[in-house]
Amino acid sequence: MSDALQVIQDPTLTYRQEVLALARLGEATDHSLVYSDAYYAAKAKGALCDLNEGPMPYRPRYICPDYKLLFQKGCDFLQLDPPRDLLEAVNVLEIFYCHVPSITAYPVYLGDLDKLLEPFVIKEDRAYAKKVLGLFLRNIDRVQTDSFVHADIGPEDSVTGRILLELTEEMQLAIPNLTLRYDPERTSDDFALACVKCMLKTAKPSFANHGMFTREWGEDYAIASCYNGLKIAGGGFTLPRMRLYECALDAKSPEDFLENELPKYIDLQLEYMDKRVKFIVEESSFFKTNFLVTEGFVKQENFTGMFGVVGLAECCNHLLGIKDVKQGFGLNEEATQLGLRIMDAIEKRVSEHVAPYCDAFDHRYRLHAQVGIDSDGMDDSPGTRIPIGAEPCMLDQLEVNEKFHPYFPTGTGDIFKFEETYIKTPEAILPIIKASLARGLRYFSGYLENNDVVRVTGYLVKKSEIEKLRQKKQSLNQVTLFGMGAQDGGHALDRRIQHHEESAHQ
Amino acid sequence: MLWIEGYSIMKKAPINKIIYFSNVDGPGNRTSIFFQGCSFHCHFCHNPETISLCQNCGRCVPQCPAKALRMEGRQVVWEEAKCVQCDTCIHVCQLFASPRVSWLTVEELLSRINRALPYIEGITTSGGDCTLYPDFLKELFSRMHQAGKTCLIDANGAYDFSKDSALLSVCDGIMLDVKAVLPAWHQWLIGQAPDPVLRNLDFLLAQHKLQEVRTVILPGQEEENKATVQYVAHRIQDACDYKIIRYRPFGVKEAYQKELGEMETAVEEAEAYVRLAQSLGASRAYMV
Ligand code: SF4
Ligand code: SF4
């Protein structure tokens, strides 16, 4: 059966999912952009992976429009005036979102919703504002049907932020993904606690280390897609990844890996990225004619390439001959130290490479801990995470994360699953998040076991929607399928639970 | 008692377990430290292996599947790195003890918990019964206070707090078990009279040092449960939390499971006692 026929006959795909799947097949038939033989060989081996970006990029992978500008001057191309009240503001956004491209065809960044909407919300009666925002969230969930659609709030408390949290809890939707930009100086404990409560019940928001992101990107940064740090009015050109376990398979020793195999694959991935970035900027029409560019909602110089890695744990364990993951990376000092040496080497080599364009970043690409895809199975754990099933106690896990998170300005994160009693004690979670962010953690996600909305590797899905797919029914959210794959192949929902152990006395 | 002598000579205490992050041992995120040894002998204890100190009889040694236990002279030695936490040893032990205990000085204990300090509000010492080691606690707590952390004691109530103002002054609160108030029932359940516990209840209340009182509700023991809950509620009112705990047979020694019943206390049954306590003024009663 041809691939196209398979798509057309798949009972679980919605119409729009079919169109996108067919478009991807079409894209893959043109090979005008040629990569090196060595690259193709590495790809065939599974050592490098293009994350199905397609051979000929026709838009940047992630785009983070400047919505502030949209609200200031409107948009000529879409014939939108600057909004004057809440209804107009929400309507402007809903229309604009439909015209923001990305790798998924859905907008991966919806803006700092609280900051954008607060001036309008406070002019309205609270109940009315909540009704409007509820319809806005419903529109996003049903129209932007992809879990990589992401909105940000914080660092400050706001009426809009509070209403969004309330609605998130009441509506229990997987879309959009949500992040609190947490800053101990600017985020009140009360607001942070409200976010923890909401996170326990809905798996969002996650907590981003505002200080760390600001130091790297300036105040104008976005958290988009899973947990990706990017510049507002910019974004990410492309995101390929090194599958570190496969990269290590031919190495004779850790030293051989560090001296020969690793640099070889880093260079191949850099060369691949350079080609794609040049193609997007020089050949494709996006940066020449798209209204986002011509009207200034994004600027080419604010884009960078995202250098992805995945499977550091399995790479280290393989190089040290460790078979039992419970004795390996993250639980074994030697393996963790090797991980740090590998990351130092990657960081150094990537930072020495002069990248085309990327003007706002001193012509450098930035590292990204890629979160894995459903087909990775158990071979490559997300980014630098400890493999599922081997997670040590939460304190150990955080300490490992704190060492590795600083390497990844374009995003990394870890997820913690909490036992039911935590719903009554959110104040027992906030100090953990605060301390860990202060000690180098970049991004914290959590959820309560037994939730319907759960965080798979970085994105959210509903367990009830996965069940639909199993019964060969359609799921509106195109990411549900990845969730099922990650659950089956990567056991992504079986992560360790932070539970209260029995106290001493009955 | 042998271990008390050992403790005072060596300034070491037997530590059964450290849980770095706990949300059920007082407010916020806390590190729980479990001491070995208890002067009570409760039938429903659900970690009975913390009651006594190991007598080095050696019975558990050959049963360990991971070879984490060995005899060194007449002492049982436990190798933490090899242990797979299968709990075989504590099931084999007939003496309500565990070979997985580390004798630590305050300094050694601190070196294990220091790494948790940035993440926690304080520590809670528990057991067994940690008040068997009051001097150790005093030193530990003063060190914790220097680090800006609060210290709570989870106590069985046998220790006479009114005679140790030094301990009270470095302790931020006590979580007291009031298991029973009817003397005969207390005697049967615990092996001692309830008087010291009830004296502590009144004393700690007056000192504003009561963080929480806890009572386990046993299934079907209506008269006894009611007497305990009424007594406690009358006294504490809204001065502290009152945790009503459902009995669960998990972990309880088999012989006692037979006596007490293999059933959990039903949620509805326990909820009725929460309402009873609240109706008598203990507004901070809740169930777990
Ligand atoms: S733990 Fe129990 S069985 Fe093992 S040596 Fe000690 S007293 Fe004997
Ligand atoms: S729990 Fe006890 S029996 Fe099991 S491995 Fe550890 S020491 Fe051995």
Complex ipTM value: 0.89
Q: Which ligand is closest in space to the CA of residue B89?
A: 2
User: What is the set of domains in chain B, with CATH numbers?
Assistant: 12-51+101-177 (3.20.20.70), 61-92 (no CATH)
In order of B3, B38, B87, B92, B97, the CA distances from B53 in angstroms are: 7, 9, 16, 15, 5
Q: DSSP 3-state assignment of A64?
A: strand
Contacts for A305 with CB less than 8 Å, ≥ 6 apart:
A236, A237, A238, A239, A273, A276, A277, A355, A358, A365, A366
- Rounded mean pLDDT of B251-260? 73
Contact between chains at A506 and B216 (C-beta distance less than 8 A) = yes
- Rounded mean pLDDT of B25-35? 95
Contacts for B18 with CB less than 8 Å, ≥ 6 apart:
B31, B32, B33, B34, B112, B113
Q: How does strand A443-448 pair with strand A206-209?
A: antiparallel
* Beta-carbon pairs below 8 A across chains A and B: 81
In the prediction, which pLDDT does A374 show?
80
Pocket test for ligand 2, best of B79, B82, B89 (most atoms within 8 A of CB): B89
Q: How does strand B30-35 pair with strand B12-22?
A: antiparallel
What band does A270 get if pLDDT is binned at 50, 70 and 90?
very high
- Rounded mean pLDDT of B139-150? 97
Pocket test for ligand 1, best of B50, B51, B53, B59 (most atoms within 8 A of CB): B59
In the prediction, which pLDDT does B2 show?
45
Q: How does strand A62-64 pair with strand A48-49?
A: unpaired
CA A206 to CA A196: how far, in whole Å? 9
Are A61 and A239 contacting, i.e. CB atoms less than 8 angstroms apart? yes
Token pair, residue B199, equals: 């004296």
CA A319 to CA A313: how far, in whole Å? 10
Token pair, residue A379, equals: 């071979």
Task: Specify the ligand 1 atom closest to the Cα of B55.
Answer: 7
In the prediction, which pLDDT does A499 show?
64
Residue A504 has pLDDT above 50, yes or no: no
Contact between chains at B23 and A421 (C-beta distance less than 8 A) = yes
DSSP run (H or E) holding A473:
none
Q: How does strand B75-78 pair with strand B69-72?
A: antiparallel
Contact between chains at B119 and A427 (C-beta distance less than 8 A) = no
Phi, psi of A447 (to 5 degrees): -160, 165
Are A307 and A367 contacting, i.e. CB atoms less than 8 angstroms apart? yes
Q: Prior bond to B194 cis, omega within 30?
A: no
Residue A149 has pLDDT above 80, yes or no: yes
DSSP code of A103? T
Are A232 and A110 contacting, i.e. CB atoms less than 8 angstroms apart? no
Q: How does strand A228-231 pair with strand B210-217?
A: unpaired
Q: What is the dihedral of CA A472, A476, A477, A479, to 10 degrees?
A: 30
* CA neighbor of B124 nearest in space, from B108, B144, B106, B96: B144
DSSP helix, strand, coil percent of chain A (3-state; round to 5): 50, 15, 40
Rounded (5°) CA angle A31-A35-A39: 130
Rounded (5°) CA angle A46-A49-A54: 130
Nearest-Cα residue of chain A relative to residue B264: A506
Alpha helices in chain B (DSSP H): 2-10, 88-92, 106-113, 134-146, 165-170, 183-190, 195-206, 222-236, 254-260, 267-279
In the prediction, which pLDDT does A373 show?
85
Residue A333 has pLDDT above 80, yes or no: yes
Nearest-Cα residue of chain A relative to residue B17: A504
Q: Which residue from A427, A500, A501 is facing B28, i.e. has the nearest CB? A: A427
DSSP run (H or E) holding A401:
helix A394-404
* CA neighbor of A360 nearest in space, from A33, A64, A148, A116: A64
- Rounded mean pLDDT of A141-169? 96
In order of A113, B71, B283, the CA distances from A17 in angstroms are: 27, 66, 55
Q: Which residues of B touch A (CB under 8 A)?
A: 19-25, 27-30, 32, 34, 42, 44-47, 50, 115-116, 118-121, 126-128, 154, 156, 177, 214, 216, 245, 247-248, 250-252, 288
Rounded (5°) CA angle B4-B7-B10: 150
Average pLDDT, chain A: 93
Ligand 2 centre distance from Cα of residue B60 (Å): 9
Residue nearest to atom 4 of ligand 1 (CA): B60
What band does B206 get if pLDDT is binned at 50, 70 and 90?
very high
CA B188 to CA B224: how far, in whole Å? 12
Are A327 and A354 contacting, i.e. CB atoms less than 8 angstroms apart? no
* Residue B165: count of CB within 10 angstroms of its CB: 9
CA B4 to chain A, closest CA, distance in angstroms equals 20
In the prediction, which pLDDT does A502 show?
42
- Rounded mean pLDDT of B22-46? 91
In the prediction, which pLDDT does A501 show?
46
Give A479 or A449, the one with higher predicted confidence.
A449
Ligand 2 centre distance from Cα of residue B76 (Å): 12
In the prediction, which pLDDT does B6 show?
47
Give B217 or A481, the one with higher predicted confidence.
B217
Letter for the amino acid at B202? D
* CA neighbor of A235 nearest in space, from A290, A305, A179: A305
The owner of tokens 């299934």 is B219
Residue B5 has pLDDT above 50, yes or no: no
* CA neighbor of B22 nearest in space, from A419, A228, A196: A419
Share of chain A above pLDDT 70, in %: 98
Are A104 and A148 contacting, i.e. CB atoms less than 8 angstroms apart? yes
- Rounded mean pLDDT of A8-34? 92
CA A314 to CA B107: how far, in whole Å? 37
- Tell me the per-residue pLDDT of A233-265, one tens digit each, with 9 for 90 and over: 999 999 999 999 999 999 999 999 999 999 999
Sign of CA dihedral A414, A419, A422, A423: positive
Task: Specify the ligand 2 atom closest to the Cα of B66.
Answer: 5
- Rounded mean pLDDT of B199-217? 96
Q: Over A242-257, what HEC string results?
A: EEHHHHHCCCCCHHHH
In the prediction, which pLDDT does B10 show?
57
CA A393 to chain B, closest CA, distance in angstroms equals 8
Q: What does pTM read for this prediction?
A: 0.92
* CA neighbor of A437 nearest in space, from A235, A194, A180, A224: A180
- Tell me the per-residue pLDDT of B58-103, one tens digit each, with 9 for 90 and over: 999 999 999 999 999 999 999 988 998 899 999 999 999 999 999 9
Instruction: Give B29's strand partners.
Output: none
Report chain B's C-alpha Rg in angstroms: 19
Ligand 1 centre distance from Cα of residue A26 (Å): 71
In the prediction, which pLDDT does B1 show?
42
Contact between chains at B46 and A506 (C-beta distance less than 8 A) = yes
- Tell me the per-residue pLDDT of B163-193, one tens digit each, with 9 for 90 and over: 999 999 999 999 999 999 999 888 888 888 8
Contact between chains at A431 and B214 (C-beta distance less than 8 A) = no
Please list every residue in chain B whose beta carbon sits closer than 8 Å to the beta carbon of residue A435.
118-119
Q: Over A301-361, what HEC string results?
A: HHEECEEEEECHHHHHHHHCCCCCHHHCCCCCHHHHHHHHHHHHHHHHHHHHCCCCCCHHH
Give B260 or A440, the one with higher predicted confidence.
A440
Residue nearest to atom 2 of ligand 2 (CA): B89
Contact between chains at B245 and A504 (C-beta distance less than 8 A) = no
CA B288 to CA B208: how far, in whole Å? 24
CA A166 to chain B, closest CA, distance in angstroms equals 24
Residues with CB under 6 A from ligand 2: B 64, 66, 68-69, 78, 83-89, 100
Contact between chains at B120 and A431 (C-beta distance less than 8 A) = yes
In the prediction, which pLDDT does A34 show?
93
- Rounded mean pLDDT of A362-390? 91
In the prediction, which pLDDT does B279 show?
97
* CA neighbor of A203 nearest in space, from A221, A230, A227: A227
Contacts for A379 with CB less than 8 Å, ≥ 6 apart:
A243, A245, A246, A311, A314
CA A262 to CA A342: how far, in whole Å? 8
Share of chain B above pLDDT 90, in %: 74
Is the CB of residue A421 less than 8 Å away from at least one CB of chain B? Answer: yes
* Residue A359: count of CB within 10 angstroms of its CB: 14
* CA neighbor of A147 nearest in space, from A486, A484, A480: A480
Q: DSSP 3-state assignment of A4?
A: helix
In order of A251, A271, A277, A337, the CA distances from A254 in angstroms are: 7, 24, 32, 12
